Amino acid sequence: MAAYPEPTIPFDPAYVAATIVGRINSFQTGILAQWIAEYGTFWGVSIEHGGSVYSQSQMQSIFDVMPQVTAIDIMQDNAVFVTAIQQISGGAIPAQYLETAWVLTTDPVTGAIIIGDLKPFWAII
């Protein structure tokens, strides 16, 4: 039981439609903001200030202890997510987030992920 009587609000389809669209827009903006933050966490870069949170050798050690199948799965899931968000948003993801923050190669013998240089956008000038 409500403590106070609530006034009856007449049905206004334009208001309801605007509320629905506004909530969806907020949700999509929130998803993008959270994804950008997680991009920084995964790649060890500072979203606010640029540069790397970790040295190249520290990033390599993170990838060395992370199961490779997990790292690859995260990167593949990310690619699917980016494609979907780009289609939904009309290309709202900034260019620097469309690729890895580090140059990546694989060891020709073991197939292990090798962390190379930090890409120019993320380097602190």
Residue 123 vs residue 106, higher pLDDT: 106
pLDDT tens column, 38-93: 999 999 999 988 899 999 999 999 999 999 999 999 999 999 999 998 998 888 89
Please give the pLDDT value at position 90: 87
Please give the pLDDT value at position 77: 95
| Boundaries of every domain in the chain | 13-44+51-122
pTM for the full predicted model:
0.80
Please give the pLDDT value at position 2: 66
Residue 42 vs residue 123, higher pLDDT: 42
The rounded percent of the chain whose pLDDT value lies above 70 is 98
pLDDT of residue 21 exceeding 70: yes
Is residue 115 within 8 Å of 56, Cβ to Cβ?
Answer: yes
pLDDT of residue 28 exceeding 90: no
pLDDT of residue 125 exceeding 70: no
